Amino acid sequence: MQSIDSQALRPSFLMDCLFMEQTASDRTNAERDAAHSKMDAIARQCWAKFYDTYIINSNSFQGIPLDFDPVGINVTFLPIWDDRTMQMTGVRMSARIVSGAPDICEDYFRA
């Protein structure tokens, strides 16, 4: 939950995705950099499609209306170089998204 300017509580969601490519153990720095650039471009295209489909335009997912607030969304693209012992290179995409409408609990609490 996240408090907005009016002190109302809105549901918030954390999107955390990895875009990874495995390279050969004898890869060059140029091959590593190319893998990172490729995963970065894919991550940014995925974010643009998600943003257009679910944030800018009202939409639904599995019959549930989605109303995300486009104000204050911060998306980050962090590089990942050679994750642990694997030659995995890519990008971690993270974003916190706040719902534009409060949850309604009409039948949960009765006087």
pLDDT of residue 5: 65
How many Å apart are CA 19 and CA 16, to the nearest integer?
A: 10
Q: 43 is in which domain, residue-wise?
A: 12-99
pTM equals 0.75
pLDDT of residue 105: 56
What are the tens digits of pLDDT across the range 36-51?
Answer: 999 999 999 999 998 8
CB atoms within 10 A of CB 62: 4
To the nearest whole percent, how much of the chain has pLDDT over 90?
32
Residue at 25 is within a domain:
yes
How many Å apart are CA 16 and CA 52, to the nearest integer?
A: 18
Beta-carbon contacts of 53 under 8 Å, excluding residues fewer than 6 positions away, are 59
How many domains, the chain? 1
Residue at 16 is within a domain:
yes
Q: Please, are residues 97 and 55 in contact by the beta-carbon 8 Å criterion?
A: yes
Residue at 6 is within a domain:
no
Kind of pairing, strands 88-99 and 68-80?
A: antiparallel
Residue at 105 is within a domain:
no
